[in-house]
Amino acid sequence: MSVLVTGVAGFIGFHVTAALLDRGKTVVGVDNLSDYYDVSLKEMRLARFGDEKGFTFRRLDIADKDAMMALVAEFPDIDQVIHLAAQAGVRYSLVNPHAYIHANVAGQLVVMEACRALKKLRHLIYASSSSVYGDNNKLPFSVEDRVDNPVSLYGATKKSAELLATSYAHLYCLPVTGLRFFTVYGPWGRPDMAAFIFTKKILAGEEIAVFNGGDMKRDFTYIDDIVAGVLACLDKPFNNNGNESSHRVYNLGNHRAEPLMRFIGLIEQALGQKAKVRMEPMQSGDVKETYANIETSRRDFGFEPITSIDEGIPCFIKWYRDYHGV
């Protein structure tokens, strides 16, 4: 038996794959190595696996139906799928909306069609996002809340992916779970995320743009906690006994709404250097606060994040300095 991981060269996909291999799992990883951000970072992540026994890589686009169907035909023993490939980023969705429909909607459809062809499939997990909550003002965000008003195209495509999963679970009894990730950060993180951007600019002596005058909060979640949650959920597909939908969604967050300025302060402290701050108004598609209610995740698969930003930020900064030699 083996696990298919899409987006294997991405931030979360890389860490999840490393953890699966540490468990002794056989992993088939796919990625299209898109140039949305520095491809060399993705290649360096993949290089960490080297010729490791139990790991196979295929470069392909998850929205390419023929390629995905050929993949599952080549590896019919895949019994678990962790679908993490996506076009990420709220702000980039204002610039290139078509990329989001292609990867996050068409790609979701193709992945689920491929899963239908896997006769041994026990569980499909896919990445959703806190962005589906839009500007909901009820906090913390609960999976019981309505998510009908996404304020970004990115959030809309993630909600669309959830709806597709709901329909496929109903029509074909696919055992499928969506995980709504909340602001993930840590070593090997994406260059378009706040921790990376702030660190790079502070070290370069450049101004950092802080939106909404700094009056923002995020449920910053360390990558190790996200990986633990993904693997715990993978091991516990929902058993519906044929009586109800086999689709579930869960929040994976740190269950803490941290002020953005405190986050920046911890980066400054870890770097030993003050930021030059430029206050900006709120950007289109952005929200003031995110905060995850994780009670169902705790109940159903024991999810319990343990890393505060006080611990996580220094770990990220150490990696950043080592990786960039600064």
**Beta-ladder partners of 153:** none
- The 3-state secondary structure of the chain reads CEEEEECCCCHHHHHHHHHHHHCCCCEEEEECCCCCCCHHHHHHHHHCCCCCCCEEEEECCCCCHHHHHHHHHHCCCEEEEEECCCCCCCHHHHCCHHHHHHHHHHHHHHHHHHHHCCCCCCEEEEEEEHHHHCCCCCCCECCCCCCCCCCCHHHHHHHHHHHHHHHHHHHHCCCEEEEEECCEECCCCCCCCHHHHHHHHHHHCCEEEEEHHHCCEECCEEHHHHHHHHHHHHCCCCCCCCCCCCEEEEEECCCCCEEHHHHHHHHHHHHCCCCEEEEECCCCCCCCECCECCHHHHHHHCCCCCCCHHHHHHHHHHHHHHHHCC
Query: Which pLDDT belongs to residue 244?
Result: 61
Residue 186: CB atoms within 10 Å: 24
158-186: average pLDDT: 96
Q: What does the pLDDT read at residue 241?
A: 59
Rounded Cα–Cα distance for residues 130 and 227 (Å): 16
154 given a catalytic annotation: yes
Task: Find where tokens 């794959």 sit.
Answer: 17
Q: What are 55's strand-pairing partners?
A: 27
Domains of the chain in start order, with CATH, are: 2-324 (3.40.50.720)
Chain segment 79-110, per-residue pLDDT in tens: 999 999 999 988 899 899 999 999 999 999 99
Q: pLDDT at residue 276 above 60?
A: yes
- Tell me the longest C-alpha to C-alpha distance in the chain: 59
- At residue 242 the predicted structure's pLDDT band, cuts being 50, 70 and 90, is low
Given the residues 100, 154, 250, 320, select the one marked as catalytic: 154
Determine the pLDDT at residue 290: 95
Average pLDDT, the chain: 95
* Whole-structure pTM value: 0.96
Residue 31 scores a pLDDT above 70? yes
Contacts of 43 (CB under 8 A, 6+ apart): 9, 33
User: How far are the Cα atoms of 108, 232, 252, 269 from residue 178, in angstroms, in the given order?
Assistant: 11, 13, 10, 36
Whole-number Å distance between alpha carbons of 268 and 320? 14
Residue 243 has pLDDT above 60, yes or no: no
Reply yes or no on whether the pLDDT at 245 is more than 80.
Answer: no
- Read off the amino acid at residue 287: V
Q: CB atoms < 10 A from the CB of 316, how many? A: 24
